[in-house]
Amino acid sequence: MIPADERLILALDVPTVLVAKDLVEQLGSTINFYKVGLELLMDPDVHNFIDWLHSQNKKIFVDYKFFDVPNTVASAVRQLQSRPIEFITVHGNDEILEAACMESFTTKILAVTVLTSLDEHDMKDLGFKVDISDLVLSRAKRALKIGCDGVISSGLEIKKLRDEIDDELIIVVPGIRQEQNDDQKRITTVEAAFENGADCSFQPIGFCNLAEPGSLLRHTHNLTNRSALTHLRHRSRSTAMMYRARRENCPHHMASYPLSYHFPNLWRTV
């Protein structure tokens, strides 16, 4: 079962670690999963902050959207394996995603499908004459085949992903806003996202009522308990381990593989 307090992720889109730490301390046990993105990455103390979050029993989602030549992405993912990170986002083609998966043993790789700040007009401007939902589905299927654990998708495409891929992929949803007042274009409400089958969603700081954090916790429980999807999806992790098995000639890596790799019959979808 996915605990309700791990299905809503708060995006720490703030300029400094000091501001982020203050927010985490204010929210206390209300939020137990945090996203660290590019803005906070610019603070030189960000990785010590990640360790501090872990010491507070928080889960961490690193949303760096790695997008570079495969060897560089592989090296970046490898560097983060020593950190207590749950999710890492990776952008790009098959070779980039595969390079990330080959280096990920302690974290889950989430493939970015199509940024939620892009709509049909933007795609045409970029030279892509394609339906966005079809493109998201295609990229999600390829990510699963490559060995990614999940995808980042807008809430508008969740139902199509669930219908076509069912429960093989972790779906994390960004771009969920109470009001359309920013640069996100393909958005939905947090209620709709969970009802359509999202595993997790991440929200901006403005979603929180810092004056009464308990109200946020109650709201989160109500949302997640109403959705039919209440279990972790493991099949993609099993697929990921199969693809990473090619590294079995490197014994020092084998100890990092979970029991599911050595004893696949123990790895079942709940």
- The set of catalytic residues is 65
Q: Tell me the CA distances in angstroms from 92 to 68, 73, 182, 203, one per residue in order.
A: 8, 10, 25, 24
Rg (CA), the chain: 18
d(CA 268, CA 20): 38
Q: For the residues of 59-91, what is the DSSP string, one character each?
A: EEEEEEEE-S-HHHHHHHHHHHTTS--SEEEE-
Where do the H-state alpha helices sit in the chain?
A: 17-27, 38-41, 46-55, 70-80, 94-102, 120-125, 132-146, 158-165, 190-196, 213-226, 235-244, 251-254, 259-262
d(CA 230, CA 52): 29
Say what the alpha-carbon torsion angle 182, 188, 194, 198 is, to the nearest 10 degrees. Answer: -80
Longest dimension (CA), the chain: 55
Q: Tell me the CA distances in angstroms from 113 to 25, 98, 110, 147, 148, one per residue in order.
A: 33, 15, 9, 15, 12
